[in-house]
Amino acid sequence: MTGKIPLAGVIGSPISHSKSPQLHRHWLKTYGLAGDYVPMDVAAQDLETVLRTLPKAGFVGVNITIPHKEAALEIADLVTDRATLIGAANTLIFRKDGNIHADNTDGYGFLENLKAGAPGWVPSAGPATVLGAGGAARAVVASLLDAGVPEILLTNRTRVRAEKLSEDFGNRVTVVDWVQAGNILEESTLVINTTSLGMIGKQAMRVPLDGLRRGTVVTDLVYTPLRTDLLAVAEEAGCVTVDGLGMLLHQAVPAFERWFGQRPDVDSAARAAALR
C-alpha cells in the first residue's frame, strides 16, 4: 500500500458535456472506495506530455474521448488486439512499470447494452445495418462480427470511409450507398445508428425509416436526447428499441474494475447518476 488515493479521469476537448465523472464517482461512493475521477480538457499538442505526467500524480488510468482516441493509441506502449483493429483507444491503464496500456471497450459496451435492452436478439438471425463508418462504427462492427452476425450492411455518407472499414474487417461487411440506406432496413434484424445524426445540435436523422419492420431491434449510439427521432419512429413501427446511454455505462465497467479493483453494476442507480 502506498497510501496514495487512486485517481482516474476522462481526457477530451471539449469535455464539460461528459457524463463519465458522475458515473465513476457514483460507483466509487456506492462501493465505498477511495479515489476520484476528473474531467480534463487537453489540447492535442499536450496529450502525450499529460499522459506521461499523470501517473506521477497518482493517476491509475484515464478514459479518452473525442478527438484524442486515435492519438492515444499511437502514444500507448502496449495495445490490445481489439484496440488495434478498431484503430482507437477509449481506455488507458497506467502500469506500475511506467508503460501505458491501451484498450477499446466501446464494442464491449455496445454489445452488453444490446443484450440487456433486447434480450431476444439472436446475432445469427440475420443481417445488421450499420449507419455510419466513424470510430464508433468500427467498435460496433468488431463486436457484431465477434458475436456471430452473418452479414453487416454498412452505409456511410462518405463511401470511401465505409469501404476502408469493409477492407479492414473482411467479407462479412457489405458496403451500401448512403442514398440506398432506407432500402436495407427491411431485410435487417438489427439497425444501429453510429452517426451523430439526431444528436442535439447536429443535423436530424434523414434516412427514410419506413422500411423498419415490427420486431426489428433498433439502437442509437446518440444519447442526447435519450429518445432520438430514430428510436421514436422505430417504437411506432413496433421495433424493439435500445437507447445509447447503456453503452456509455457498460463501456465504463472494465475500466473501473481495472483501476479501482471492483466490478461495478450497471443498474438503475448508475443510469440515474449518469443522467444527473
Which of 4, 19, 56, 69 is an active site residue? 69
**Quick check: 199 binds ligand NAP (CB under 6 A)?**
yes
Check the CA dihedral 208-213-215-217 and report its sign: negative
Neighbours of 150 (CB within 10 A): 14
Draw the binding track, 34-73, toward ligand NAP (x: CB under 6 A; -: no contact).
--------------------------------x-------
Q: Which of residues 64, 76, 217, 221 is near ligand NAP by CB under 6 A?
A: 221
Quickly list H helices, the chain: 20-30, 47-53, 69-75, 81-86, 106-117, 135-147, 159-169, 229-236, 245-260, 268-275
**Quick check: 180 binds ligand NAP (CB under 6 A)?**
no
Pick the piece of the chain touching ligand NAP (CB under 6 A) from 33-41, 77-85, 122-130, 194-202. Answer: 194-202
In whole angstroms, the minimum distance from the beta carbon of 98 to ligand NAP comes to: 29
Length, in residues, of the chain: 276
Which one, 180 or 203, has the nearer CB to ligand NAP? Answer: 203
**Quick check: 134 binds ligand NAP (CB under 6 A)?**
yes
- 187: closest CA among 129, 249, 266, 116? 129
Name the 3-class secondary structure at 42.
coil
Which one, 51 or 165, has the nearer CB to ligand NAP? Answer: 165
Strand 100-103 to 78-79 pairing: parallel
Catalytic residues: 69
Report the interface residues with ligand NAP, using CB under 6 A.
66, 106, 109, 132-137, 156-158, 161, 194-197, 199, 203, 221-223, 244, 247-248, 251
